[in-house]
Amino acid sequence: MTPTIAVAGLGTTGGHVVRHLVDELSPPLALRLHDTDADAEDRARKQVGDRAPVEVGRIPGGETADVTILATPCGDHAAVASRLLGAGGHVVSISDSPDDIDALLELDDLAREAGRSLVVGAGMAPGLGCLLARHAGNQLDTVDSINIAKAGTAGPACARQHHRALKLPGRDWVGSGWELRAGGSGRDLAWFPEPIGARDCYRGALGSPILLHRRYPEAKRLSARMSATRRDRLTARLPMLRKPHQDGGPGAVRAEVRGWRNGRVETIVYAVTAFPSVVAAAVAVVVALRLAAGHGPVGASGLSEWDDANLILTELHRRGVPISTFSGIVGDPS
């Protein structure tokens, strides 16, 4: 039977989600699309054309889709996910807001009772960052620290969340507890693959450490940073001074994982440079397709908890997401 995948939110990232769902790498699907903007729904319907049966309307509405991808702006993902899980569907949320992530993780019991998967933070960071961290962690005997850094934004809603995140405190796991650190503090120069290159990154309200802690509770340090310019930091506490771009352009995500392998300290660094909107959509789609095929853990989970993280990375590579590793002096001072 052809699985039905619903997409809620047809903005920049949601549009790419629809495009990935109907490309030649995806199996035959039925789609259900929803946005508060009727024009966006029309555009998405035209984008699909005759490549898949499409139904446009409220979600959940009528028969529940097998999997619903929530690509709406941050804020109400938990409320919608709760309704969808109750109706018997799997849910994939791309929200990167820590408030959303906390609320979604609280739906774990509901998802388990329903025997369904609720995937939290299935975008670029968290999402791809968690997959890269897990991929590195799989090659180590124990993981001591993970640092995720990201640069760039997807669509306007993502840019607003990025702006908001820079002024809010972020949670870092240090030693054996969470520490609240001021947004915009902790400058760290992070190197991303070209064309992004070196960027100053700062703390903020970022969700990756919350999700990574579920997979690596024994790690001594879990942190995340986001790139920002001096102007970003100066204006973080003000409303956005101009309308965000329709697409934030190229961005990157980087996972630096330190730990032990065969009695030696090792550092593994993976990164991806690409358009955040495209990458976030690809991650959400690959995860949704795995759920539709009957794979994935029951209950609420981040992507670092998925045992088949490498299969997802391989599939992302097939879809044109370039995964790079840093080789050189890191962990090899000779």
Partner 1 sequence: MLTLVRRVAAALGLTGLIAMLFRLRGRGGVPPQTGGWRELTEVELAGFLADEAQRAAAAEDGTAEAPSAGE
Q: Please provide the DSSP assignment of 139-179 as one string.
A: TSSEEEEEEEEEE---SHHHHHHHHHHHHS-EEEEETTEEE
* CA nearest to 165, candidates 96, 230, 234: 96
Beta carbon of residue 264, minimum distance to partner 1 (angstroms, whole number): 6
Of 15 and 251, the one with the shorter C-beta distance to partner 1 is: 251
Residues 255-294 that bind partner 1 (CB under 8 A): 260-265, 271
Beta carbon of residue 285, minimum distance to partner 1 (angstroms, whole number): 18
Beta carbon of residue 306, minimum distance to partner 1 (angstroms, whole number): 13
* CA nearest to 285, candidates 35, 5, 39: 5
Of 239 and 328, the one with the shorter C-beta distance to partner 1 is: 328
Beta carbon of residue 314, minimum distance to partner 1 (angstroms, whole number): 5
Pair 326, 197: CB distance under 8 Å: no
Contacting residue, 36, 142, 229, 246, with partner 1 by CB under 8 A = 142
Pair 64, 88: CB distance under 8 Å: yes
Lookup: tokens for 283: 């991650």
In the three-class reduction of DSSP (H, G, I as helix; E, B as strand; rest coil), residue 266 is classed as strand
In the three-class reduction of DSSP (H, G, I as helix; E, B as strand; rest coil), residue 177 is classed as strand
Contacting residue, 182, 185, 314, 320, with partner 1 by CB under 8 A = 314
Beta carbon of residue 218, minimum distance to partner 1 (angstroms, whole number): 12
Tokens 């330190």 belong to 258
Tokens 């199996």 belong to 27
Question: Can you give the length of the chain in residues?
Answer: 334
In the three-class reduction of DSSP (H, G, I as helix; E, B as strand; rest coil), residue 259 is classed as strand
Task: Compute how many other C-beta atoms are within 10 angstroms of the C-beta atom of residue 266.
Answer: 18
Q: Is 198 in the site for partner 1 (CB under 8 A)?
A: no
Q: Is 194 in the site for partner 1 (CB under 8 A)?
A: yes
Contacting residue, 50, 239, 328, 334, with partner 1 by CB under 8 A = 328
Q: Is 313 in the site for partner 1 (CB under 8 A)?
A: yes
Contacting residue, 18, 118, 236, 323, with partner 1 by CB under 8 A = 323
Q: Which residues bind partner 1 (CB under 8 A)?
A: 135, 138-139, 141-142, 193-194, 260-265, 271, 310-311, 313-314, 317-318, 322-330
